[in-house]
Structure 1
């Protein structure tokens, strides 16, 4: 691989990110991405295979930023680990409300049929953050400070309701922004996770 390849990839991702976030996946064309990034159509297809290949890389970067934000809230919280998971709920709600278009883009990609063909890199990212969560949580579970549950179930409890609230707000089904429900949601989630 030449030294130009990483630069080309970075330029395409940097140019495509605001296009996808602002306009949505369907409204952005390969030509739009090529024009914004200054790369040729052939170069884009060589490095990414398709527009969806570019969207996948943007999606993974956005998803990483979201998970980093939420898990950082857990990791920096001192004291009760159940309250730390409540901090993750608040962080997720805050991120979704502060970055509504980014969150909407992640929802759009996650629910796209083409995403099924790209399950492996998404699962690899999920596994990375699951390991990170387990490094933090395992000592708390062993000490009896945190309820022993499958990490997937913990993620569903901590992040599932916030994503539903954000989606409902983004689509105009509910007028209240996600953080409006933070106290009640934190109370519900922490009750479920307390040993």
Structure 2
């Protein structure tokens, strides 16, 4: 991990620009002095372009701004998100200290080169684990949704054909094989057609 994108907002973008000593505590200065390639962004469009070439994003922001910025960045590219905890960002974050903030690590101006390296290393590992968790969660929710459609279709077949659930499932499976479709796609079609017929019946009975 060598390329980092530092994100500033209005509260930190012009932080102590006239103070040369304070400049040495800014994330871009500290990280460059440790050998990292650093780009800087202070608005969404700029960050969206630069994140594509970055290995991680360092958020020099109040904690209250991390959620929105993180969500915008992840839409472009999944990278580790690390909070730069300086005197100013810590002070600006006092009221948000109880907020649930999704970051992969915390960096500070006082860290040594080795400490920064390991913080970034473990941040990248945590980001990968978080990405895997989100992927597994998405797959699980998809399976639950598919199960719902299949169970609904089985119920409809049981009602119409007066058969057992296992027989209804076998019927779905055979139809899926014959049509070269997934069982959930066949089940969804059956449910949609059944609901359409029921709606038409209800509409006809009102006339």
TM-score band, normalised by shorter chain:
under 0.3
Larger of the two Rg values belongs to structure? 2
- Which one has a larger percent strand, Structure 1 or Structure 2? 2
Q: TM-score, normalised by structure 2?
A: 0.25
- Which one has a larger percent helix, Structure 1 or Structure 2? 1
Instruction: State the structure with bigger RCO (CA 8 A, min sep 6), 1 or 2.
Output: 1
Q: TM-score, normalised by structure 1?
A: 0.26
